[in-house]
Amino acid sequence: MSGPENFEDEFGKEWREAFDDYTQTPPNAVWENIDKKLTYQKMVYYKRSARIFQYLSAAILLLAGFLGIYTYSFSQNSQSRINDFTAEINHPIPLESMKFGVENSFSNLLSFIDESDSECKSDYVDNVQLNHFANNQDNNLSFGSSGVQLIALSNERQSMLEMVDIEALEGLSSIAPNLNVIVASNIENHEVWKLADYSYLSEEKKVSDKKKVWAGFDAGASSFNPNYQSAGNTTLNNSLSSSSFQFSGARTDAVESQSPQIEESMSVGNTVSLGLNFGLNLSEKWSISSGFRYNLSEATNSTNVIVRSTKVQEAIPASQEFNNVSQVNNAVSASTVLEYDFQDVELSNEFQFASLPVKAGYMIYNKKLSIELNAGIAANFYLGNKLSSSDNQFADVSIGPGHQSAYKEISFSGLAGIQLGYLFLEKFEVIIQPNYQQSINSLTKEAAEFDASPSGFGVSTGLRYRFN
């Protein structure tokens, strides 16, 4: 704004002075409308923010739940094995009866407590070596880097702990360190006996028989961030078809001014999906899977110019997506345009895709509970999109794949996720999977005046059946 240089125009100066400092209170309805819109904008913002936190919270809760179930299940199973095989301290079992098909010189499995971490460990010990060290009254034992090892010795009258340096025990080998062993002992003779518990092997064998081929279905929800980028402010002339209606040139009452500038954007929304899937365990750790998914994604388009014509009752928002849409071209032609208004419009943009994912998975943990990391690629087939408004004054426009649409018929995206599974009834498995998806290439054709490479975080749940 210039200021005083216009003062030489006395006429203008008189008018300026006449309006200077004049105030007039607007009607109450103006503030009421502003207040309503501000409240609505806040609600939309918090609703969108809440969705992300909902997904994160759901994923964290599910992960915590699975870890809790896993921890409880493991501790229960360990205890049950110990309870089933506890030896009676008052009646020690002779060594000879406890040989379970292992090497003669390594027939004793010693269970001891590592004081450094209170963990119960097991090792095979030669009979001679065991007696030698159990009877050793030398208090100057040196302890190896594996820490202090304690042997529990007890009878009906008393119990005591003797410390043993595990590294000092020659010939020890950890053949099956995960075996649970119940120890009986004779405190007077400093002898210990043990009973090897192999019951866990049947559990592992059971798990390794997990069925290799599976099929199932799942449903999921995720955020949909279109990562929209416009080529820049485009003129209405460029965006609303080059041949159907060049309103500046075709009209006889040509105006001197340029076409209005369109400002368009697309904001974050969400996706819901349904899928059928199948997979194959290639080994104990690796698997491969594929399937078919249907995705319905919604985002919000904003634009600032609307077009009114005699052929369509509702106004048509000017959008870069309408470059080649015949539905729009037919309704709006140079001879029937009434006016172009600058008005901020928000449209719901609903996309439909069919996708074929292929993923590889790596099992971190594979028992009744399973945890798998997976990653892969999906081919996404564009089925169409629809722009609509909740306000009846704007026309809906549906666009399908083909030359009319700004979107490619096939695009690709990268997938990554953490899959948590629980096996029940031997053949059924329920799956929960937080995941992330990122487009590898743009959804839009090269000729389009905007770019969209969607990404999103989400969670899916499903059910699988394992075949022989």
Partner 1 sequence: MVFSDEELIKGCVKGAAKYHQALYEKYSPKMYPIALRYSKMQQEAEDILQEAFLKVFQNIDNFRQDSSLPYWIKRIVINTALNHQRSKLYLFPMVDVTDLKNNTTKEITLSSLSYNELLDLIKKLPSGCQVIFNLYAIEGYKHHEIGTMLEISEGTSKSQYARAKSLLRGWVEENNKINYERAGEF
Q: Which residues bind partner 1 (CB under 8 A)?
A: 1-6, 9, 11-12, 14-16, 18-19, 22-27, 29-31, 33-35, 37-38, 41-42, 247, 253-258, 260, 339-342, 344
CB of 2 to partner 1, least distance (A): 5
Task: For residue 311, report the phi and psi dihedrals to the nearest 5 degrees.
Answer: -85, -25
Nearest CA among 468, 286, 466, 464 for reference residue 366: 286
In the complex with partner 1, which residue's Cβ is closer, 204 or 391?
391
CA angle at residue 298 from 294 to 299, to 5 degrees?
A: 145
In the complex with partner 1, which residue's Cβ is closer, 170 or 253?
253
In the complex with partner 1, which residue's Cβ is closer, 12 or 171?
12
In the complex with partner 1, which residue's Cβ is closer, 73 or 248?
248
Residue 395 neighbours by CB distance under 10 Å: 21
CB of 41 to partner 1, least distance (A): 8
CB of 12 to partner 1, least distance (A): 3
- Sheet hosting strand 108-114, strand order edge to edge: 119-125, 108-114, 149-154, 159-164
CB-based contacts of 101, cutoff 8 Å, min separation 6: none
In the complex with partner 1, which residue's Cβ is closer, 11 or 53?
11
Structure tokens at 278: 């199948």
- Residue 51 in contact with residue 223, Cβ under 8 Å? yes
Hey, what amino acid is at 54?
Q
In the complex with partner 1, which residue's Cβ is closer, 41 or 208?
41
CB of 24 to partner 1, least distance (A): 5
CB of 396 to partner 1, least distance (A): 23
Bridge partners for 162 per DSSP: 151
Nearest CA among 26, 24, 25, 20 for reference residue 7: 20
CB of 349 to partner 1, least distance (A): 21
How far is the first Cα of the chain from the last one, in angstroms, to the nearest whole number? 81
